[in-house]
Structure formats: C-alpha cells, structure tokens
Structure 1
C-alpha cells in the first residue's frame, strides 16, 4: 500500500527530504508520491513511514487502500463519529443548562 499527499499539505517539502526511497516528486507546485517507488519504509531502518512521521500537519500524508469497501467503511465510521459527537455535545449542553436553570430556580424561590 502506498501513501498519498492530501489537500491538507502545506507544501513544506519536508516529506521530500526525508523519504528514503525518493518516491516524493514535485509535480507543478504540489508534492506527489510515486506509488511505484513508495515502499512504506518497509525493509528499511525506519519502523514507520517517514512521510507520515515527518509531516507537520499530521494529515498531509495518508495511506491509500485499494479496497473499495475498506475505504467506504473508513469514511462511514468517520461520518458516524462526527454525528455522534454532535449529539453528545447537545446532550451535554442540555444537561448543563437544565442543571443551571434548576439551581437558579431554587435560589430565587
């Protein structure tokens, strides 16, 4: 599995300088990872892919999966987690607001 550069890339070119297989090329003004040259830093002295480890945005380099369903479920889980967090936010807000309201009501009574 190769890695790819996402739209979160800030074009710092750090990944290009630390890639041990020289798989990162500049195309136009954006970096691009050549999937034919990318080895995921396997069989090297590194335990993790260096483009991912050295990226200052943490999401500039991401692993590409070629499996359609793996990508689909990954996106699905991401969307569900975002929806769930928003639900939790409103539940917490309601609990806090109702608690403050009941405290205020008992003080003023």
Structure 2
C-alpha cells in the first residue's frame, strides 16, 4: 500500500529530498507519489516511511487505502474523534463558566445583603 500526498501539502519539497526510492514526483506545483516505486521504506534502513515522517503538516502525506471500507472506517473514526474532543471541550468550558458565574453571584448577593 503506497502513500499519497494530500491537499494539505505546502510544497516544501522535504518529502522529495528524503524519499529513498525517488517515488516522489513533482509536476508544476503538484506533488504525487509513484505507487510503482513506493515501498513504504520497507527493506531500507528506515523504520517508518520517510515522506510521512518528514512532512511538516502531518497530514500532507497519508497512507493510501485500496479497500473502500477501510477508507470509510478510517474517515469515520477521525470524524468521531474530532466530535468527541469538541464535546469534552464544551463540557469543560460550561463547567468552568458555571462555576465562575456561581462564584460571582454569591459574591454579589453577599454585597447586597451586607455579609
């Protein structure tokens, strides 16, 4: 399974310079990976694919799946992960806001009652 360069690519050419097989191709400003040449860096001195490891955007170079369902579930899990994190964020925000609001109300009531 080869890797592919996504729309997150910033055309920094780091992947091209670190690829041990020369699988990274550039046509104008578009970068792409030749799947015939890409070996995922297996059989080389590298333990991880160098295009992925060297990418400064983290999502500029991703594993390309050939199986439709594998791709579907990968995207589904990414989306669910993002939604879950956002839900946690808003719950924490609400808890913090509620606590601060409650403290201010108690302080304000104390001032009104002269306590």
Q: 1: CA distance between counterparts of 2:35 and 2:85?
A: 35
The residue that corresponds to 1:96 in the other structure is 96
TM-superposed CA distance for 1:105, in Å, is 1.5
Say yes or no: does 1:80 pair with 2:80: yes
Give unmatched runs, 5+ long, in structure 2. 110-115
Structure 2 CA distance, aligned partners of 1:48 and 1:93? Answer: 38
Secondary structure of the residue aligned to 1:44 is: coil
Corresponding position of 1:42 = 42
In structure 2, C-alpha distance between the alignment counterparts of 1:86 and 1:50, rounded to whole Å: 31
RMSD: 1.2
Cα-to-partner distance string for 1:69-95 (whole Å, 9 max, x where unaligned) = 111111111111222222222211221
CA displacement at 1:67 relative to structure 2:
1.3
User: TM-score normalized by structure 2?
Assistant: 0.87
Equivalenced residues, count: 109
Q: Which of structure 1's runs of 4+ aligned residues deviate more than 4 A?
A: none
Q: Structure 1: how far apart are the matches of 2:18 and 2:74?
A: 28
Instruction: Determine helix, strand or coil for the equivalent of 1:25.
Output: strand
Partner in structure 2 of residue 26 of structure 1: 26
75-84 or 35-44, larger mean C-alpha shift: 75-84
Tell me the distance in 1 between the aligned counterparts of 2:12 and 2:98.
48
